[in-house]
Structure 1
Amino acid sequence: MPGIDDTLLGRDAEQAALERAMDAARAGQGGAIVLWGDPGIGKTALLGYAAEHATGFQILRCRGTRAESILAFSALHELLWPIVDRIDGLPTPQAEALRGALGLSDRAHDPFLVGVAVLTLLSELAEERPVLVLADDTQWLDAASTSCLSFLTRRVSDESILVLFTAHERPEGTSCDGLPVLHVQGLDPVDARRLVVGQHPAMPDAQIDRVLTLADGNPLALQELPDAMPPWSVEAATLSSGFAEAAASQLDPDEPVEVGPRLRRAFDARVAALPVPVQTALLIVAAGDGAEIESVRSAGQELGLDDDAWQQARLTGLLHLAHGRISMRHPLIRAAVYDRATAAERRAVHRALATPASGLDPDRRAWHAAYATDTPDEQVAAALQDTAARAWMRGARQSSVRALLRAAELSPDSKAAGRRLALAARNEWNTGRVDSARAILRDAEAAAGHRTAVRFSGGLEGMMELGHGDPVRALELFERDAAVAGRYLEPELRHLARRAAWSAGLGDSTTDHDAMVLEALAAGEDLIGWWRLPPAIQAVAIGKAEPTWELFQHVSRDARISGNMTGLLTTLNSLATLEMALGRWDDAAENAASALYLAEQQGQQNPIARALLTVGWLAAVRGEHTDAVAATERALALSRPRRVAALNAAGYWNLGLDALGSGDVDSAWGFLAPILDPEHEAHHPTLAALAAPDAIEAAIRLGRTAEAAAHTVTLAAWAERTGASWAISATELAGALAADGRAAEDHFRAALTVPEAADRPFQQARTQLLYGEWLRRARRRTDARAQLASALRVFDRLQAAPWAARARQESALAGEALDPNPTGSSRTLLTPQELRVARLAAKGLTNRDIAAQLFISPRTVGHHLSHVFPKLGITSRDELAGMDFEQGPTILP
């Protein structure tokens, strides 16, 4: 292929793939590739090829090392350091998050927000010139950096950004799973022979054949093994004959050993033949694994090494120096050097690196001190706990967990060990590793007792149960733990106990359930702690949807700014619930989609179910039967085993509405009736009240007048207790459906004129539909058309297709000529993401603001808008601001 460099023998296909990817990135079609294969196979050389041929690109690099895999955001620090001065240009929340991750500030932020910041930073850099990210040895990247890069790679399809990873294994089951892969394999025999002959032209053919057999096409082995095969070698000036003999004795080509172990043996023999001071110098480099040269030499001074030892170490050809850092030329060499040393030798080297004189940062010194001891040491344990706290503040939860677990191992006192284990359990839960968090919490309790485990984990056992398990059990745990939590934690656990009781359908609606809403509204913007927010559906049920929505909007903004993704997840789900009731269905769809994404990222099972139920409800009322059933059944599969009554009830309500909208009244009653049955798994007091109007309609249409009357009594009691406009209106509607003549019409009129009843437009429109049907049957066709037309406008705006079709049919029977196939709306013209972007842009948000809300890049926002404008027949954002996205692509008056 023209333009392919032949300096890498046998890599034409790989070079061509990299060239194509770079050309695509130049054209604004970014992506990522994982180059995987055995150690020494040539992956790093291919990254070098990409860097050399990335004309016009900004190149950013990082490399994973074993030593730094435990340090929070160490790889990200290396990657972004060349452009760190650009961080100040980011939106303030993102800039603060990224500065915290890189250790440039002590602000705590969620790692998810760090990922958004990196995406924005590189996207804006790519506006100036394409960006090439090279991440070598990703199997050893620290977890926080890996998560950040994974977030980035899934959002660069519309960016001039190419990310290249290398890894030892195929990436299934890793953070790179699903990315395009390039399997780098051994050289074919012809190219392998060319490589050996090119480097060792005097080697006899028989020896070449032996090397080819041993190396099996591995380029590193083809280059290194000849030096281990005397007597012909002329390349081993720095090696003793003892090395050659020892290596040769370990390289039997007939032995069934993989190439990696063969190389390890060769390197091991090579190191064994060196003088002891040189071996020590190499061991310091291996333990430091990419440390600064000054730090390594300082550690050498602690161990009595002189300049001559370092000079000899350099001449071995085993070291790599770059950008003021020193490491082994290849990870296999590092492993050979480190593993062959005795435990005492390794501890001595780590001890030298742990001294303040080494100049290493406190986190690295703490880990070296931990490696330097195998007995309990409170001073080292305390240093590791400080490291864990810094990692936590920077959003590196997994690094924090590892530091705390090691600190617990080194704690001489069981109480101290238990405290550290409890903190580790809380951090582990925040990473989504629920089973592991439970196991660590059990160890914490065993070490330090129940009270200590509760206080230092923040009542974690109940929180895990509420987020992932049975709310009845969660209630018991919160009540148990609140008794020993202490005055700062107790209020939080008491409130969470009330939330658990509500989720389980327990407690008294007239006290605890309503009070949670009223207390939160009374606190308003002074509300402290997202966990004090009330159940959103309870606010709907007692007629406080609008003020509660305003409160959740405020908390949501704070959560975004602070990077509190757990709080943001809670508010997004709740906003979606409130917006469904208020008729802001596209807003609800946006928030539910964001909540679902965050919940799946965090592994929060019950919040996943909540988001799915919103998706299912919207699909049901919009006539998307397949989607409604799929989302709802997936949610019920999560909530049923956990006995989450609120979620079970919402699922049955979804299925009932779906059936009611399609005209399958028998099925609708079958799903709705259980919600009102105190003995059924789907019963929940709040949802029973909200679903009662639908159940009453289904019962009356089936002739079940007794059941309808019973549910009307329950609904009337709810209306009287709460004074909620929707409940008063629904009670009047139930009366209308059960009555005849003038009495029925009085009830219909009363239902439609209840103050604030119109604040729930879907319910109001359905009342008008039923009234219009009644008027049509009473042969009052003109009056019927007026009610049906009003209902139809709302149904069309909301995209409530089943009810819109029913209203059109009734209008036709009433003598109104309507288009049976109305013009499509913005919702059908635009993709879901385009619709979200367009609606936010119409509100006046900048591309940056939209990107921050949707967790995409500003460039991607611009890409979506470039499709939105022609689809809607407009040319500017000013025109976009005049579009009505609820009713379709129409200009607002």
Structure 2
Amino acid sequence: MWGQGERADRAGTTAWVGRRSQWTALGDTLADPGGAGSTVWLTGSPGTGRTELLDRFGRRAAADGRRLLRAAGVAAERTVPYGVLHQLVWPLPDESGYSAWRAVLESAVGTRPAHTREPDGRSDHGAREDAPSAAPVHEAVREMLTAAARARPLVLLLDDIHLADAWSVRALARMRSELDAAGVVTVATVTIDALATLDTAGVRILELAPLTAAEATMLLRARHPELVPGVRDRVIAEAGGNPLALTELPARLTPCQRAGAAPLPDHLPPGRRTDRMLAHRVRGLPAEQSFTLLLCALAGRDGRPAHLVLDAARAAGVARAGEHLVAAVAAGLLAADPATGRLRFRPPLLGAWMALHSPAADQRRAHRAWVRILPDRDPLKGGHAAAASPEPDERVARALDRMSRWAGRSRGESEAARLLARGAALSPDPAARAWRIARAAWLAALGGDHGLAASLIEEAGDTVRAGRAGATLDLARALLALRTEGDPRLALALMPGVLTGLSPSGEPWLRASAVLLLLAAAVGTGAPEAWRTATAHATGMPEVVRLFHDVWSDPPTRAAGGATRLDRTVRELTRHQVMECAPALVWTALALDAVDDHRELWELMLAHASTSVRLCATLALVRDDYLRGHWDRSVERARRGAAEAAAAGLVLDERLLRCEEGRVWAARGRQDRVAELLAAVQPWAVAGGHRHVLSALMAVRTACALAGGDHEAAYDHARAPLPGGIRPDPVVRLAGTLDLVDAAARSGREGEARDRVRAARARGMADISPRHAFVLAAAEALVAPRDAVGPACERAVALGGADAWPFELARVRLHHGAWLRRQGRRAQARCELLAARETFTRLGATPWARRAEEELKVGEEGRAGSPPGTGPGLLTYQELRVARLVAEGLPNREIGLRLRLSPRTVASHLYRIYPKLGVERRGAVAQALRAGGSLRSERPAGSGTSAPPPSRRGHMT
């Protein structure tokens, strides 16, 4: 029963994280209801979960049929003699067996007239001098508890026994062995600091140690799954393994901070219970010792060596700082890192508490001390200078400007934005203040601190409009709208004016950012005017801007050699520049299908960049996993990224990642999943005119129809104009060349398919990247003349790096195997078809695997007996399925319903079936199939001729 209860509780709680051994030990105390009892104390620091484990043990014991008696020590009641014992026995029924003993105890507590007092008048914890005599009380309580245990197995739960009155603690210690002999189980909680002051004879001690990093991660994932990895790591570091702090800290953060969309504060605010726990640690410290600890708290999250803290203390005029540090280490408030000598708080949250609760005057004094001793290049000096200056000071504001430039290169745009915002608040000159606010808003938006960016834009209001400050603020507005709302229209409207308002020589980095933002809006919407403006300003821009422009504006003509250009560009960029232009690098790599060539770049972004940049890198890896056949990982990454984007309020990133997930479901033929994607994303994309998203949805619909064998519908999707008459994205359309050619060739449009392939070859598609070269070769194999299919397939398969694209390679092998089978080369066909089926099966592309399996079956069924050059052996598996249903007498419409094809696709199949079978009319199909040994029913087993066709629910048209 105990194990079953444990499993049931574990399903709904995280109390077991790091506490499995203690829980098992507690369970052992209930193993034999009729045996001897035991006394167990749960000990640990405050917040380690002692009371929670005690509560759960009580519920489990009650479920086992035990009677529970509970009491708790309270500091304010430590002067009440036998108060805890009175709490224990109070719930016992007022029966004759208990009445006399209850009267003795109540007299001792003071609720009845007292007749005896302890003769020595001894008092503990400031208790009354007229304490009651111990012997009668001990006997009364012992008799009541043992009698209760005889009637029903008894469990005593004592919370915070270190806060109980001394009379009760002494009485329980004296009767411990007798209660154990009576089968009474006693479980108590006590802090680890108070353990040495109590009598532990006969007690089993179970210590609840701080959680390890792995256990803390497990707890946070269960309690706060919305935390992104970087935020989760910070919370783990600050909590120091304390379960209470781990539970409360994330709740004090904003949703944007939990999602990583806004940076965390310098000091994480403790929760209410954690705050009380920390306050107890430093209560009563002398003022100067508290100030020395405040210097340590403001030294930074990583702490400072003791000699620097002493230097800061001398700068603040503290004479005995060394003694203060020694005392703090002895009291367990501070610890020195053995490797670096840096002083850190124990727990780390204690430093945050000191910084948040110290008087403002003390904080300014401490910040001034750090400003005096830190070098100018120290990344924290700017923050200290700002916090130490309550009044506007241009000198400090300029210093913060310098600090922000350094911080932007080393710690990211968000940190630079915060320093600039502090500088703006300290700027006495309105013009300088406006410029600093605008730059801070732009850097905050660029670094993903959207909350800070929005507040700075609101603070600027209508006062910052003209000149470079106004242009920079417009840049921040447009970027914020694009990232948080997925709305590119503000960028389209504002960027031409921004580029006009920014000086070509004074702010080259801002102009480059404006061009990149305009390009992003142009890619998203396809607005011709945006492309013209971006093209006019791209000249003279850094190579990363020009390359982004070239590969997305007209990839066949401008993107030749793009993969080589991207390699060179990445090598020439510094780490800071990589982070600044990360979205441009990601989207350039996506257009070139060159993500895997720069995997270390995306891993760097995932580890050190803001949420928006991390999501860009995630998008790149999701696409690459799809192309390289890691489909399950692609789906998992896309889902995690979409959830993170939704939590951070990044609408466009969330939609794009959902489209990437849709690629996998489309290739797997999951029409239900594709329909869900279209219902969720397409209305939003149509309303906002998002050409790129609509083009991606078009590609998903095309791939889904191809997987289902509905080539006519696939062709319609691939060629149909986007809603609103928008022309499809040329990059997406180029990447979908193989699907379009496949759909056209198999729907009776071989001439158009060949023209498409020839045009792509003439415009230089093969020169863009190795993947583009392979896709083009695969498309050429699909449209090759009948006698040249084999060599064309062999050329595509032999192309360098072809095995990097398993799905497309398997499609070529499937086409090749079908051709070999129709040529009568069954052994070679079987090899190709088996290889294709294995790849499709591994990817989960069930419709494609089924198609390969059908081709294998057709090869086994084919026999001699048909006229030369004709017979069922020449049919593809889909053509054979259509022919069999025609032979059963079904019309095209019902065949289409049965096979999930459009009637037009069925007619296209029949156009090719007749000459292959050597017949000229519908009625002769059955005879030709029967002669070739290929006539068998396509109807489900057990269904008659009148069985209704399967539903077309979810069928994409």
TM-score by length of 2: 0.48
Please tell me whether residue 658 in structure 1 is matched to residue 672 in structure 2: no
Task: Tell me: CA distance 1:607–1:732, structure 2 relative to 1, closer, same or farther (3 Å).
Answer: same
Paired residues of 2:49 and 2:208 also in contact (CA < 8 A): no
Paired residues of 2:686 and 2:723 also in contact (CA < 8 A): no
2:427 maps to a residue whose letter is S
Structure-2 separation of matches of 1:366 and 1:382? 10
Q: Which residue of 2 aligns with 1:377?
A: 393
Task: Tell me: CA distance 1:733–1:14, structure 2 relative to 1, closer, same or farther (3 Å).
Answer: same
Paired residues of 1:284 and 1:296 also in contact (CA < 8 A): no
Paired residues of 1:445 and 1:453 also in contact (CA < 8 A): no
User: What pairs up with 1:91-490 in 2 under 5 angstroms?
Assistant: 148-150=233-235, 164-165=244-245, 171=251, 350=364, 354=368, 370=386, 375-385=391-401, 395=411, 401-430=417-446, 432-434=448-450, 436-441=452-457, 443=459, 449=465, 451-453=467-469, 459-468=475-484, 469-471=486-488, 473-474=490-491, 477-483=494-500, 484=502, 486-487=504-505, 488-489=508-509, 490=511
Q: Which has the higher contact order (CA 8 A, sep 6+)?
A: 1
TM-superposed CA distance for 1:411, in Å, is 0.6
TM-superposed CA distance for 1:4, in Å, is 2.3
TM-superposed CA distance for 1:650, in Å, is 1.4
Structure-1 separation of matches of 2:393 and 2:670? 63
Structure-2 separation of matches of 1:536 and 1:291? 38
Structure-1 separation of matches of 2:251 and 2:425? 32
Q: Which residue of 2 aligns with 1:513?
A: 554
Paired residues of 2:44 and 2:50 also in contact (CA < 8 A): no
TM-superposed CA distance for 1:618, in Å, is 2.1
| 1:763 match: secondary structure | helix
The one of 744, 757, 762 aligned to 1:720: 762
The one of 666, 691, 696 aligned to 1:645: 691
2:498 maps to a residue whose letter is D
The one of 16, 20, 27 aligned to 2:53: 16
Structure-1 separation of matches of 2:834 and 2:47? 73
TM-superposed CA distance for 1:808, in Å, is 0.3
Query: Could you list the runs of 5+ residues in structure 1 that have no partner in the other structure?
Result: 21-40, 61-121, 136-142, 187-217, 224-266, 272-277, 312-318, 340-345, 737-743, 818-893
The one of 525, 541, 555 aligned to 1:504: 525
CA RMSD of aligned residues (A): 6.6
2:760 maps to a residue whose letter is W
Paired residues of 1:144 and 1:399 also in contact (CA < 8 A): no
Q: Which residue of 2 aligns with 1:812?
A: 857
Paired residues of 2:355 and 2:363 also in contact (CA < 8 A): no
Paired residues of 1:616 and 1:654 also in contact (CA < 8 A): yes
Paired residues of 1:726 and 1:757 also in contact (CA < 8 A): no
Q: Which residue of 1 aligns with 2:41?
A: 4
- 1:313-332, Cα deviation, whole Å (9 max, x unpaired): xxxxxx998679999x9999
Paired residues of 2:525 and 2:689 also in contact (CA < 8 A): yes
Task: Tell me: CA distance 1:782–1:350, structure 2 relative to 1, closer, same or farther (3 Å).
Answer: closer
Please tell me whether residue 523 in structure 1 is matched to residue 565 in structure 2: yes
1:171 maps to a residue whose letter is A
Paired residues of 1:385 and 1:403 also in contact (CA < 8 A): yes
Please tell me whether residue 752 in structure 1 is matched to residue 793 in structure 2: yes
| 1:171 match: secondary structure | helix
Structure-2 separation of matches of 1:134 and 1:798? 34
Task: Tell me: CA distance 1:751–1:583, structure 2 relative to 1, closer, same or farther (3 Å).
Answer: farther
Paired residues of 1:616 and 1:629 also in contact (CA < 8 A): no
Paired residues of 1:606 and 1:639 also in contact (CA < 8 A): no
Which segment is superposed worse, 581-590 or 636-645? 581-590
- 1:712-740, Cα deviation, whole Å (9 max, x unpaired): 6455433321243456546646756xxxx
Count of matched residue pairs: 608
Structure-1 separation of matches of 2:368 and 2:49? 46
Larger radius of gyration: 2
Paired residues of 1:462 and 1:477 also in contact (CA < 8 A): yes
| 2:702 match: secondary structure | helix
2:732 maps to a residue whose letter is L
Task: Tell me: CA distance 1:770–1:448, structure 2 relative to 1, closer, same or farther (3 Å).
Answer: same
Task: Tell me: CA distance 1:177–1:803, structure 2 relative to 1, closer, same or farther (3 Å).
Answer: same
Structure-2 separation of matches of 1:799 and 1:594? 20
Structure-2 separation of matches of 1:478 and 1:48? 63
Structure-2 separation of matches of 1:638 and 1:465? 15
| 2:40 match: secondary structure | coil
Structure-2 separation of matches of 1:520 and 1:710? 28
Which segment is superposed worse, 587-596 or 420-429? 587-596
TM-superposed CA distance for 1:501, in Å, is 2.6
Paired residues of 1:384 and 1:407 also in contact (CA < 8 A): yes
Paired residues of 2:619 and 2:638 also in contact (CA < 8 A): yes
Task: Tell me: CA distance 1:442–1:671, structure 2 relative to 1, closer, same or farther (3 Å).
Answer: farther
Structure-1 separation of matches of 2:373 and 2:271? 40
| 1:650 match: secondary structure | helix
Identical-residue share of aligned pairs (%): 20
Task: Tell me: CA distance 1:720–1:150, structure 2 relative to 1, closer, same or farther (3 Å).
Answer: farther
Structure-2 separation of matches of 1:587 and 1:133? 21
Structure-2 separation of matches of 1:695 and 1:717? 13
Q: Which residue of 2 aligns with 1:76?
A: none
Task: Tell me: CA distance 1:580–1:814, structure 2 relative to 1, closer, same or farther (3 Å).
Answer: same
Task: Tell me: CA distance 1:495–1:782, structure 2 relative to 1, closer, same or farther (3 Å).
Answer: same
Task: Tell me: CA distance 1:338–1:734, structure 2 relative to 1, closer, same or farther (3 Å).
Answer: closer
Q: Which residue of 2 aligns with 1:686?
A: 731
Please tell me whether residue 802 in structure 1 is matched to residue 850 in structure 2: no
Paired residues of 2:782 and 2:812 also in contact (CA < 8 A): no
Q: Which residue of 2 aligns with 1:107?
A: none
| 1:404 match: secondary structure | helix
Task: Tell me: CA distance 1:133–1:410, structure 2 relative to 1, closer, same or farther (3 Å).
Answer: farther
Structure-1 separation of matches of 2:369 and 2:662? 59
- 1:485-516, Cα deviation, whole Å (9 max, x unpaired): 53532445445544543343456889943376
Task: Tell me: CA distance 1:48–1:768, structure 2 relative to 1, closer, same or farther (3 Å).
Answer: same
Task: Tell me: CA distance 1:321–1:471, structure 2 relative to 1, closer, same or farther (3 Å).
Answer: closer
2:695 maps to a residue whose letter is A
Structure-2 separation of matches of 1:426 and 1:367? 20
TM-superposed CA distance for 1:414, in Å, is 2.2
| 1:376 match: secondary structure | coil
Which segment is superposed worse, 517-526 or 165-174? 165-174
TM-superposed CA distance for 1:677, in Å, is 4.9
Task: Tell me: CA distance 1:147–1:790, structure 2 relative to 1, closer, same or farther (3 Å).
Answer: closer
| 1:4 match: secondary structure | strand
Please tell me whether residue 621 in structure 1 is matched to residue 638 in structure 2: no
TM-superposed CA distance for 1:792, in Å, is 2.5
TM-superposed CA distance for 1:800, in Å, is 2.5
Paired residues of 2:450 and 2:480 also in contact (CA < 8 A): yes
Please tell me whether residue 765 in structure 1 is matched to residue 810 in structure 2: yes
Which segment is superposed worse, 793-802 or 634-643? 634-643
2:848 maps to a residue whose letter is W
TM-superposed CA distance for 1:169, in Å, is 8.7
TM-superposed CA distance for 1:781, in Å, is 6.7
